[in-house]
Amino acid sequence: LPPAAFIRRSENVKPIFKEPYDLGEIDRILAKADLSIETILLLMQILAKLINHRDPEVALFAAESINAIEHRYNVRIQETKDRIEEYTPQAEDYRFLIRPYLELSQINRIRQVLRNFYLGEAYQYCKRLWRLGELLAEDYALLTRILLALELHQQCGTLLHRAVELRPDIEAELRFLQREAAFARRDTRTMGRIMDRLRGLNLTAGMKRQLAFWNGVEANE
């Protein structure tokens, strides 16, 4: 087909966020097994509106859809818990549990009690992961997100300071997390010191672009 055919097709697809919402399209997306957290969070925005719809059937559809999303996570969590009861848990098992708890906290960010419960569960499994030995950069990133979400800024700062001493091999990644934690505290002085330190480290191309963005300069400067 000529390019014009694809352009016309793209222009004729109704955006999922345009009202009135297409319940069939929402249902089709929800049926996919590999939805990203970004997609789920966007769908939750729509469902949160529809749950108060004047049409009882539409409101019921929204409520059942929200329950289906959370049920998917709970099944994944329970299956993992059942599995690791049969043998000594490995680091990857705990990582597989931390992420769904963290995503459930994001899904329930409006419902504060549930949000904090899921964050607390994620934090408990992070501590179990810590006891197994050396954490990876991705583990520190998860811990940082959890502690900042719980507003445990001092604890987060202490954790990352200790991590830099323990893991000089991933100092760049940890410094980026320190900068994120300092930003959450609105501590601009510490942010500046961290960025000065980052300039002296061996950074990936992506890290250089991020640092350049923070400094308001071109990445190749």
Return the minimum-mean-pLDDT range out of 21-30, 69-78, 137-146: 21-30
pLDDT at 134: 75
pLDDT at 12: 46
pLDDT at 147: 92
Q: 141 with 163: CB under 8 angstroms?
A: no
Q: Is the pLDDT of residue 221 over 50?
A: no
Q: Which residues contact 190 (CB under 8 A, 6 or more apart)?
A: 178, 182
Asked if the peptide bond before residue 20 counts as cis, ω within 30 degrees of 0, the response is: yes
pLDDT at 199: 86
What's the mean per-residue pLDDT of the chain? Answer: 86
Q: At which residue do the structure tokens 């319940």 appear?
A: 23
- Determine how many CB atoms are found less than 10 A away from the CB of residue 55: 9
Instruction: Please report, rounded to a whole number, the percentage of residues in the chain having pLDDT higher than 90.
Output: 48
Average pLDDT score over residue span 139-166:
91
Higher pLDDT, 199 or 177: 177
pLDDT band of residue 20 (cuts 50, 70, 90) is: confident
pLDDT band of residue 15 (cuts 50, 70, 90) is: low
Q: What's the chain's length in residues?
A: 221
Average pLDDT score over residue span 132-139:
86
Q: Is the pLDDT of residue 138 over 70?
A: yes
pLDDT at 9: 47
Q: Which residues contact 83 (CB under 8 A, 6 or more apart)?
A: 93
pLDDT band of residue 3 (cuts 50, 70, 90) is: low
pLDDT at 84: 86
pLDDT at 220: 55
**Straight-line distance from the first to the last Cα atom of the chain, in angstroms, rounded to the nearest whole number:** 43
Q: Is the pLDDT of residue 74 over 90?
A: yes
Distance CA 81, CA 93 (A): 9
Residue in 140, 213, 218, 217 with CA at minimum distance from that of residue 181: 140
Average pLDDT score over residue span 164-185:
92
Tens-place pLDDT, residues 80-130? 899 888 888 888 999 989 999 999 999 998 888 999 999 999 999 998 988
- Our measurement of the distance from residue 156's CA atom to the centroid of its chain's CA atoms, rounded to an integer in Å, reads 17
pLDDT band of residue 194 (cuts 50, 70, 90) is: very high
Distance CA 140, CA 126 (A): 9
Distance CA 196, CA 216 (A): 14
